[in-house]
Amino acid sequence: MTTALTEVRFAGGAQGFNWLPVFVAEEQGIFERNGLKITYLKLGSVDKATSAVRDGSADLAITPPEGAIADFVSGGDLRIVGANSVRLPMSLVARPGVTTIAQLRGKRIGTSSLTEGTAIYTQMMLQQEGLSYPDDYDFVLAGVHTARWTALQNGEIDAAPQPAPWNFLAERQGYGCIGETNDVIPEVVFAAVIGNAGWLSQNRETVEKLVAALAEAHDFVNDPSNDAVTLPIYQRLTTPDDQELAAKGLAYTREMGMWPSNLQVPSAALAATTDLMLRVGLLTPEHVAAAASTVDPSFVSAVSAAPPATS
């Protein structure tokens, strides 16, 4: 008798390169082995992914954690279940003619949100060069990285933070990589698995199964010996027509340590996230200490203590 699978509605903005372990888990049957059927909700922006979990139209999301943290400290129900990624394999890419961050004064910078992810990292990079938002430059809501690349090519923006391998693609086509995000922010919660406290409580076993499946997939992705499986998936998510570029991006991203073991949320990465939110005005000083409690570590702890699922 076949056991029925439990459906999980899983939301994201672009569901791009940082979702590599998710799609490995799908294609390697890891979700199914853990009794799960994933319905993917690709919503086009990180804000929409956060909102979908808040309003119940999605069960969980992989998205930057700032929205969940802001919700939590204001008395909301959003929680961080685990870390999807804790590094920023990303460059600030500028159109030809712009060769330094200082030259972005008065320019237009593409981002996917004004309150999460790329906007925060970009403000931090530019602050170190003496540029402040909104006095010294403008943000343009250009969308996720693929849309930003199109906007950059069309001259609609002057620069944009672009993840690997799109940073390498831009460089190949004559655009400049004028700053490395990882040099300024070496560890941060780039994306997290978030959920609503009520749903998490009512579906604890399901969430533990999902975290276990993703933890197994993180281990798989982090092992270069699995690249015969991993690289084609990464290539499909990034540069479908260019295996060389995909291989360069995967190696760069993995060597940076992007996908954490067991979805652990490192305290240093979370502290960096809250510090960035404070610096750009998305978190008040009195809420910094409380922000750490957005993380519910019980799901990761349960999975870390449990034996792996078997077929």
Task: Dump pLDDT digits (tens) for 15-25.
Answer: 889 999 999 99
pLDDT at position 1 is: 47
- Tell me how far CA of residue 213 lies from CA of 25, 29, 42, 87, 271, in angstroms: 7, 9, 20, 21, 26
pLDDT digits (tens, 9 = 90+) for 277-307: 898 888 999 999 999 999 999 999 988 766 6
**Low-confidence residues of the chain: pLDDT under 50:** 1, 311
The total domain count for the chain is 2
Q: Give this prediction's pTM.
A: 0.85
**Does residue 1 belong to any structural domain of this protein?**
no
Residue 63 and residue 115 in one domain: no
Q: Do 76 and 103 sit in the same domain of this protein?
A: no
Nearest to 49 by CA among 37, 38, 36, 58: 58
Half-sphere exposure of 100 (CA within 13 A, CB side): 7
CA 176, CA 8: separation in Å to the nearest integer? 41
The domain of 198 spans 6-86+188-305
Q: What per-residue confidence (pLDDT) applies to 141?
A: 94
Residues 55 and 103 in one domain: no
Helix H or strand E segment including 81: strand 78-85
In this structure, are 279 and 253 located in the same domain? yes
Burial class (CB in 10 A: 0-12, 13-18, 19+), 132: exposed
The answer on 197 and 78 residing in a single domain is yes
